[in-house]
Structure 1
């Protein structure tokens, strides 16, 4: 919408505006933003954009890079979630009300974003699908809102500690996310931390829940896996919404962490599982 464009232009214009010199008139901030938004929205080739705007390909490349950086600088604090205990509790409330999952601070997943390999990159970005990619990891709220993202891990890192090694993962690991203190689930006596919900690609630890492995599980573990899947599918849906016009641009990741876990992390998962078959049970979990 024109109003949204004008609002964004007002925000980035002081950063992307170029001074006029005696030798040439600079490309206007409006054109710079138009080129960037068209590139981001359509995925059009830079050579095509260069022809459309009668500019050099290297000029278009520089405009897009500078304007994307400006957009990130002005919008990250407006759009992305800023960790605080009060903010996390709102996220937790959303997951409990909409998906019947307590103590959930977000659903996390990662995708390979297909890219054209940079010059001289070799196999640095070459992933297990035979494509070149970077990894996008995102935490999503109960209402499909992207809360936090980590972008840029090289595609060849299929099964290392991508999440744990990221800035986001390090902040969780070092207890720098301003999470509310652990407390019991309803009437249980064990205090459990507030946790992310994830699929089997992620490591079970003291801030991330993953499903029980295996096909022959007891009823309690089957119900836990079902309830976990129901809560974490919001992140899959969020990625689907984001890429509905170009679903082939992203691919699932395989493993982003070790399968090993501490006894304490296993106890937390068991506590959630027991809660779901006792005071946290819902009538429809046995009818799926």
Structure 2
């Protein structure tokens, strides 16, 4: 990662001081993302001022996204690629015509100015929502982050680009096909929890209500 990020992040030396090494800034950023440690705690661990850490962490995050986005986030864009995702679920988990599980994760934030209750969620804290879809090996291939935490998963999902693409037949979801050893076509579909609405392309658990 240091080798890939260095050309984008390396600062020029000046007569006043040497810039921080890219490897050091990357280590601080990864520990911050993995543990949520405060800037003050990171300051003592790495001997870097908290005021400096708060400036370079967003810079490192933007660089990671720019360099790794196309390599890491490979959302299926053709019918053949969707079938490849389904084939991996079939072979690994013996579940067929499956395009991936959909779920949301609340990420706690400080209340934005003049935000009212838009970011206040059912857990009693302010948050933004990370909405993801994963493949058969737990690798995320669709990520959308930033929706207001005050909405439920279904409300958040219904405003995401992948949802619109499936609804408008732009996501190249394959036509229904029979399951193994059967002759009745079954739609290719995603799976969500009880917060999601049932669709021909979205399966959910039985609600056990009424």
TM range (shorter): 0.7 to 0.9
1:19 aligns to 2:15 (yes or no): no
1:187 aligns to 2:206 (yes or no): no
Deviation at 1:165, TM superposition (A): 0.3
Q: 1:196 aligns with which of 190, 196, 209?
A: 190
Aligned counterparts of 1:55 and 1:118: Cα–Cα separation in 2 = 28
Q: 1:50 aligns with which of 31, 43, 64?
A: 43
Query: Which residue pairs with 2:24 in the alignment?
Result: 31
1:82 aligns to 2:78 (yes or no): no
Deviation at 1:162, TM superposition (A): 0.6
**Secondary structure at 2:65's aligned position in 1?**
helix
Aligned length in residues: 207
Aligned counterparts of 1:103 and 1:166: Cα–Cα separation in 2 = 22
1:60 aligns to 2:56 (yes or no): no
Query: Which residue pairs with 2:128 in the alignment?
Result: 134
Deviation at 1:122, TM superposition (A): 4.9
Q: Is the 8 A contact 2:132 2:144 kept in 1?
A: yes
Deviation at 1:183, TM superposition (A): 3.4
Any residues of structure 2 matched to 1:99-114 within 5 Å, and which? 99-114=93-108
Q: Is the 8 A contact 2:154 2:196 kept in 1?
A: no
Aligned counterparts of 1:40 and 1:137: Cα–Cα separation in 2 = 17
Q: Is the 8 A contact 1:110 1:135 kept in 2?
A: yes
Any residues of structure 2 matched to 1:169-180 within 5 Å, and which? 169-180=163-174
Report the TM-score when normalising by structure 1: 0.63
Deviation at 1:65, TM superposition (A): 0.7
Q: Is the 8 A contact 2:86 2:96 kept in 1?
A: yes
Unmatched segments (≥5 aa) in structure 1:
1-7, 217-288
1:97 aligns to 2:101 (yes or no): no
**Secondary structure at 1:161's aligned position in 2?**
helix
More strand by share: 2
**Secondary structure at 2:157's aligned position in 1?**
helix
Unmatched segments (≥5 aa) in structure 2:
none
Cα distance change on mapping 1:99 and 1:51 into 2, 3 Å:
closer
Q: Is the 8 A contact 1:150 1:168 kept in 2?
A: no
Q: Is the 8 A contact 1:106 1:141 kept in 2?
A: yes
Deviation at 1:149, TM superposition (A): 1.7
Deviation at 1:66, TM superposition (A): 0.9
Deviation at 1:47, TM superposition (A): 2.0
Report the TM-score when normalising by structure 2: 0.83
**Secondary structure at 1:134's aligned position in 2?**
strand
Q: Is the 8 A contact 2:108 2:125 kept in 1?
A: yes
The CA RMSD over aligned residues, in Å, is 2.5
Aligned counterparts of 2:153 and 2:132: Cα–Cα separation in 1 = 17
**Secondary structure at 2:158's aligned position in 1?**
helix
Q: 2:162 aligns with which of 157, 161, 168?
A: 168
More helix by share: 1
Q: Per-residue displacement from partner, 1:218-275 (whole Å, max 9, x unpaired)?
A: xxxxxxxxxxxxxxxxxxxxxxxxxxxxxxxxxxxxxxxxxxxxxxxxxxxxxxxxxx
